[in-house]
């Protein structure tokens, strides 16, 4: 009975989000929200969001915040598309390049962090600037666009987008729940000094976490390239991509107490996907960041109040 109750709590957020937008769209005169096409687009949007969410969660669970992953993803997408189209590679070649470049860039970020010993925020913000500068050099700063190219855009369509999302869910769950690195990360975030004194190699942990997150980011990069007209980045524009995908992580880490965070982040990403699609359908797509920001603040207040009420009950 408890498992059923916890499962209900896990799916409560996306169900309520869907019902809210179902009512709003009916009031505004749109009767298409909720049909087969709606769910198809929501799940496709969720695939990219949840992949980036797992990248952020891997570092957050280790007590780190990687603000460079957005710039890393965009630079890797642009570079992979440029090479793939220049040399006639197929979609699998594009995916392999995206994973390769994301892993390499992630490891560079990790190397800078462990060698300079600068705070993680300073390191990743600096690397975000480096990767953004690279996007202005790739393809002479002309960006990239393969969303109409059948050789590559299938990564952003069903069923491949769902398959890639499933790989990300499985990989994240295995790394965090069944590997030494995942358990070491939790120990470090709870008490870094104690964890190191007990023999945890923090530098090794950083390298492996950035390696795994780079792999997941590479999958996300392929879906991003398949669904987005890519443009050069500047002035920390890529950091906005990071914060747009932070909300599912916050939701997922909270919902983890009812199951595990891998499913929780998926539920959070599904909720964000519903919000994005619903706002675009009613013509409020430009207000996405405002709504996401307000939703994040509201959810944070709710979790804080919930934690306080549970402490009083105990």
CA–CA gap between residue 314 and residue 312 (Å, rounded): 5
Per-residue pLDDT of the chain (314 residues; tens, 9 = 90+): 677 777 787 888 889 889 989 998 888 888 888 888 888 888 888 888 889 999 999 888 877 889 999 999 999 999 999 999 999 999 999 999 999 999 999 999 999 999 998 998 999 999 999 999 999 999 888 899 999 999 999 999 989 999 999 999 999 999 988 888 877 777 666 666 655 566 677 788 889 999 999 999 999 999 999 999 999 988 888 887 888 788 888 888 888 778 788 888 898 888 888 888 888 888 877 777 777 778 778 877 877 777 777 766 65
Q: How far apart are CA 69 and CA 51, in angstroms?
A: 12
> Contact 49/228 with Cβ under 8 angstroms?
no
Stated pTM of the model: 0.89
Helix, strand, or coil (residue 156)? helix
Start-to-end CA distance of the chain, whole Å, equals 22
> Residues near 265 by Cβ (< 8 Å), separated by ≥ 6?
50, 53, 54, 57, 172, 248, 249, 251, 252, 253
Q: Please, which residues have CB within 8 angstroms of residue 158's CB and are 6 or more apart in sequence?
A: 40, 43, 44
3-state SS class at 144: strand
Nearest Cα residue to 153 out of 96, 226, 44: 226
8-state DSSP, 150 = T
DSSP 186: H
């Amino acid at each position: 009975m408890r498992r059923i109750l916890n499962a209900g709590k896990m799916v409560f957020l996306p169900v309520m989000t869907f019902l809210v937008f179902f009512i709003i769209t009916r009031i505004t005169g749109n009767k298409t929200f909720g049909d087969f096409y709606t769910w198809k687009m929501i799940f496709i949007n969720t695939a990219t969001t949840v992949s980036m969410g797992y990248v952020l969660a891997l570092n957050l669970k280790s007590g780190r915040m990687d603000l460079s992953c957005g710039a890393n993803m965009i630079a890797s997408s642009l570079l992979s598309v440029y090479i793939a189209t220049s040399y006639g590679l197929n979609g699998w070649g594009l995916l392999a390049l995206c994973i390769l470049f994301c892993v390499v860039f992630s490891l560079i970020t990790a190397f800078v962090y462990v060698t300079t010993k600068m705070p993680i925020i300073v390191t990743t913000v600096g690397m975000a600037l480096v990767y953004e500068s690279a996007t202005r050099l790739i393809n002479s700063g002309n960006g990239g666009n393969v969303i109409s190219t059948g050789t590559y855009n299938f990564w952003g369509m069903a069923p491949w987008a769902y398959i890639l999302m499933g790989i990300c869910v499985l990989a994240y769950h295995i790394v965090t729940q069944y590997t030494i690195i995942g358990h070491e990360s939790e120990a470090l975030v709870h008490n870094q000094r104690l964890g190191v004194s007990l023999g945890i190699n923090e530098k090794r942990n950083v390298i492996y976490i950035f390696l795994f997150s780079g792999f997941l980011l590479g999958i996300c990069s392929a879906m991003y390239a398949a669904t987005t007209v890519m443009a050069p980045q500047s002035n920390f524009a890529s950091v906005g991509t990071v914060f747009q995908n932070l909300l599912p992580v916050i939701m997922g880490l909270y919902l983890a107490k009812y199951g595990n965070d891998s499913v929780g982040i998926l539920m959070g990403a599904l909720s964000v996907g519903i919000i994005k699609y619903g706002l675009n359908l009613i013509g409020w797509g430009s207000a996405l960041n405002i709504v996401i920001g307000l939703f994040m603040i509201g959810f944070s207040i709710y979790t804080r109040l919930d934690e306080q009420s549970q402490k009083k009950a105990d």
